[in-house]
Amino acid sequence: MEVPLSVRGILVITEKNMRLYYTKPPVLMFGVLFPVFMFFAFFVGRHLDLATYFPAFLAMMLFFTASSVGPLITPWEKREKTYERLLSYPVTQDSIILGDVLAGAIFGIGISLLVWIVSAFFVPVTIMYAGMFFLAFILGTLSCAALGVLLAAPASNSPPNVMIFSNLIRFPLIFISGIFVPLSEMQGWALTLAYCSPLTYLVDLFNAAMIGTSALSPVVDGGVLIVVFGGFILAARFIQQRNMMKGM
């Protein structure tokens, strides 16, 4: 009986999150507006080859959208005191974490696909390996959504504090992940830093899938994203369990 109950819990929590949090201002601000403005700031009037940089832009878009929902949910629920009721329903903490990840992932996929479709009218977007592209999309969105949930795990009950903290982590990542400077042009400590960012592997995998060139093997990129996804979930689970030992 436990397994179907757990699955139902995840789905109901995902639906609840989609209904409640997709239209919250911080999500729209950091999940939609910000990456679009970043794109304009870096690409408009710079005569860059949009088709070459499009995989990196798509990765950045996916990164911001998928990781913007997670940091909001837990602190918001703790502030509104709905978190306690949620835990008293027949759901486990794991179902809550996975429901939050799924809500972030679906948001990331939805918005990024929309941007991709609209961009296709203006940018000559190509996909060389559709299967790999699909896999990159799924792995990328799950990893980024898991990062969002991890960022909320040590949360207080103050959504603004958590959003600030999450942006402190997320913003530096876009500068060290091969989005604006390709990995092939990085050297020394910059390259070491780039390999520490999960976004690097997503950008590289998108490059491999869309334009056929990548710095690392797609298998390595995919493998790292799977490990990162699992690692983020386990870390979020560990931190939330530790928080619960201290009280609500």
Partner 1 sequence: MNALEVEHLVKRFGTVTAVDDVSLTVREGETFGFLGPNGAGKTTTIRLMTGVLTPDTGTVRINGIDIHRHPLDAKMQMGVIPESSTVYGDLSAEQNLHLSGKMYGMSRALRNTRIDEILSQLGFAEKRHSPVNTFSKGMKQRVSIACAIIHRPKILVLDEPTSGLDVQSRRLVIETIRHMNEQGSTIFLTTHNIEEANTLCQTVCIINKGKIVAMDSPERLKKMFDTTQSVEVSFDRAVTRDLFVAEGIIRAEPCGDKWRLYTDNPDRVLKYLVLRAERESLGITSLTTTGPSLEEAFVQITECA
Residues 217-221: contacts with CB under 8 Å, at least 24 apart = 218/132, 221/136
Binding of partner 1 at residue 242 (CB under 8 A)? no
Nearest by Cα to 64 from 142, 164, 145, 125: 145
Q: Which residue number, 1 or 44, has a Cβ lying nearer to partner 1?
A: 1
Minimum CB separation of residue 244 from partner 1 in Å reads 6
Q: Which residue number, 138 or 248, has a Cβ lying nearer to partner 1?
A: 248
Site string for partner 1, 70-89 (x = CB under 8 A): ----------xxx-xx-xxx
Chain centroid to CA 134: how far?
A: 16
Minimum CB separation of residue 91 from partner 1 in Å reads 7
State the amino acid at position 61 in one-letter form. M
> Which of these ranges, 3-11, 25-33, 180-188, 198-206, lies near partner 1 under the rule CB under 8 A?
3-11
The DSSP H or E segment spanning 201 is helix 198-210
Q: Which residue number, 83 or 133, has a Cβ lying nearer to partner 1?
A: 83
Binding of partner 1 at residue 12 (CB under 8 A)? yes
The CB density around residue 39, as the number of other CB atoms within 10 Å, is 18
> Helices then strands (H, E): number in the chain?
11, 0
State the amino acid at position 79 in one-letter form. R
Among residues 121, 124, 131, 246, which is the contact residue for partner 1, using CB under 8 A? Answer: 246
Minimum CB separation of residue 32 from partner 1 in Å reads 19
State the amino acid at position 97 in one-letter form. I
Binding of partner 1 at residue 187 (CB under 8 A)? no
Q: Which residue has the tokens 């995919």?
A: 222
Binding of partner 1 at residue 238 (CB under 8 A)? no
Q: Which residue number, 5 or 227, has a Cβ lying nearer to partner 1?
A: 5
CA distances from 228 to 19, 52, 56, 143, 213 (A): 28, 26, 19, 6, 23
DSSP state of 182: -
Q: Which residue number, 6 or 156, has a Cβ lying nearer to partner 1?
A: 6
User: Per CB under 8 A, which of residues 15..54 are in contact with partner 1?
Assistant: 15-16, 19-20
Count of residues touching partner 1 (by CB under 8 A)? 27
Interface contacts to partner 1, rule CB under 8 A: 1-2, 5-6, 8-9, 12, 15-16, 19-20, 80-82, 84-85, 87-92, 244-248
